[in-house]
């Protein structure tokens, strides 16, 4: 692990690591973009209002009537679709866990300056929409098309570049059957902040791939180099890239902190005796195969419930007989690729893919 260069007492530069107190800029982002309250992990489906939220620029308020999706570029048959056109197509409803690639960023030392997530940048909604692959088929991708660029209606400046929010997928990635254009969340039209009227949903990938307020899909014949694709969302050791791109969600588990919280510190207080520890585990690299709970450093297997879906978190539980005193609870999951959550996180410059085993300090009385 390389030790990053830290500057103190200078104006905040996004992406720069810091050990200073939370900055005004981070507070501003934290107020706009909220976590899922961690106790909502007890629900299989996260109510829309409790689902985490991340908006880079401003929420665009779009009209369902005048909204159109253009599918063009390197295609033989460009399409222009209304919301009614999409709703008339075959519909699929699926529970999908979304997690922000920056989840856990604020726990890193030093802290990369950006949205300062602790652990709650995750949620699982039931999304309804229509699969993308048949639409690509209808549009007739040119034989030299290599990627599809998905562009949202929101615009802003990041890293000095003024752009619409846009991300790409390779043709092969975009053709996966689970990739959808979704127009409903938990049975209701998408709320404005979650992409009304239509967003892309890329199950198994970190959230940045699921472009909200989608207005255009363009087939391109060379790799897309937009900011959100080529600069942001990379595993880097310093400001100069390129580094590996962030894509699928790394295996992670979280528990509902037991007992009751202290208001200010959120430290937990639990009564002695049997305590049911529960939580969720998920991965974009395969099924969850094992969850372990660590009590003061001793790891024990948790019970796994049946999976909720191929791209949704899985419930787990374990009974802990709590004895009076101070305790540290942790949890970690392993997926079918063999990946296991680390006990300590390897630092990276943008604070991406932090899946360190959660730590919950508990006082048993």
Ligand X SMILES: Nc1nc2c(c(=O)[nH]1)N[C@H]1C(S)=C(S)[C@@H](COP(=O)(O)O)O[C@H]1N2
Site residues for ligand X, window 201-240 (CB under 6 A)?
207-208, 210-213
Q: Which residue's CB is nearer to Mo ion, number 352 or number 360?
A: 352
State the binding partner of 234 from Mo ion, ligand X, none, CB within 5 to 8 A by kind. none
Q: Which residue's CB is nearer to Mo ion, number 199 or number 268?
A: 199
Do residues 52 and 100 touch, judged by C-beta distance below 8 A? yes
Per-residue x/- track, 62-101, ligand X (CB under 6 A) = ------------------------------------x-x-
State the binding partner of 268 from ligand X, Mo ion, none, CB within 5 to 8 A by kind. none
CB of 20 to ligand X, least distance (A): 24
Site residues for ligand X, window 137-156 (CB under 6 A)?
152, 154
114 lines the binding site for ligand X (CB under 6 A): no
120 lines the binding site for ligand X (CB under 6 A): no
54 lines the binding site for Mo ion (CB under 5 A): yes
Applying CB under 6 A, the span of 24-32, 47-55, 66-74, 77-85 interacting with ligand X comes to: 47-55
> What CA–CA distances, in Å, run from 208 to 101, 152, 167, 211, 247?
7, 12, 8, 7, 9
> What CA–CA distances, in Å, run from 40 to 36, 122, 206, 223?
7, 10, 20, 39
**What contacts 361, CB < 8 A, 6 or more positions away?**
267, 268, 326, 327, 328, 329
Site residues for ligand X, window 177-196 (CB under 6 A)?
194
Indicate the length of the chain as a whole number: 365
207 lines the binding site for Mo ion (CB under 5 A): yes
State the binding partner of 98 from Mo ion, ligand X, none, CB within 5 to 8 A by kind. ligand X
Q: Which residues contribute to the site for Mo ion (CB under 5 A)?
A: 54, 100, 207-208
The footprint of ligand X (CB under 6 A) covers 51-56, 98, 100, 152, 154, 165, 194, 207-208, 210-213
């Amino acid at each position: 692990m390389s030790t990053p260069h830290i500057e103190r007492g200078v104006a905040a530069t996004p992406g720069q690591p810091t050990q200073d107190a939370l900055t005004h800029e981070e507070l501003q982002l934290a107020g706009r973009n909220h976590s899922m309250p961690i106790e909502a992990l007890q629900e299989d489906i996260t109510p829309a209002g409790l689902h985490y939220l991340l908006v880079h620029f401003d929420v665009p308020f779009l009209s369902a009537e005048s909204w159109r999706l253009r599918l063009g570029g390197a295609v033989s048959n460009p399409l222009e679709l209304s919301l009614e056109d999409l709703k008339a197509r075959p519909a699929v409803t699926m529970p999908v866990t979304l997690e922000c690639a920056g989840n856990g960023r604020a726990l890193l030392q030093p802290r990369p300056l950006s949205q300062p997530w602790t652990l709650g940048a995750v949620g699982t909604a039931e999304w309804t929409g229509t699969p993308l692959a048949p639409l690509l088929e209808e549009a007739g991708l040119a034989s030299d098309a290599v990627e599809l660029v998905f562009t949202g209606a929101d615009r802003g400046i990041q890293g000095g570049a003024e752009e619409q929010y846009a991300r790409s997928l390779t043709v092969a990635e975009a053709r996966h059957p689970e990739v959808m254009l979704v127009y409903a969340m938990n049975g209701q039209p998408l709320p404005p902040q979650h992409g009304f009227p239509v967003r892309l949903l890329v199950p198994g990938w970190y959230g940045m791939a699921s472009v909200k307020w989608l207005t255009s899909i363009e087939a391109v014949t060379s790799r897309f180099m937009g900011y959100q694709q080529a600069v942001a969302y990379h595993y880097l050791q310093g400001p100069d890239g390129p580094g590996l791109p962030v894509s699928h969600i790394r295996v992670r588990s979280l528990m509902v902190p037991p007992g009751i919280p202290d208001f200010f510190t959120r430290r937990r207080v639990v009564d002695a005796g049997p305590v049911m520890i529960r939580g969720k585990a998920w991965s974009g690299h395969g099924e969850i195969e094992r969850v372990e709970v660590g009590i003061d450093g001793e790891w024990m297997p948790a019970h796994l419930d049946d999976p909720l879906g191929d791209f949704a978190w899985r419930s787990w539980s374990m009974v802990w007989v709590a004895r009076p005193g101070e305790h540290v609870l942790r949890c970690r999951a392993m997926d079918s690729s063999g990946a296991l959550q680390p006990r300590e996180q390897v630092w990276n410059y943008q604070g991406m893919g932090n899946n360190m085993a959660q730590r919950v300090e508990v006082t048993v009385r």
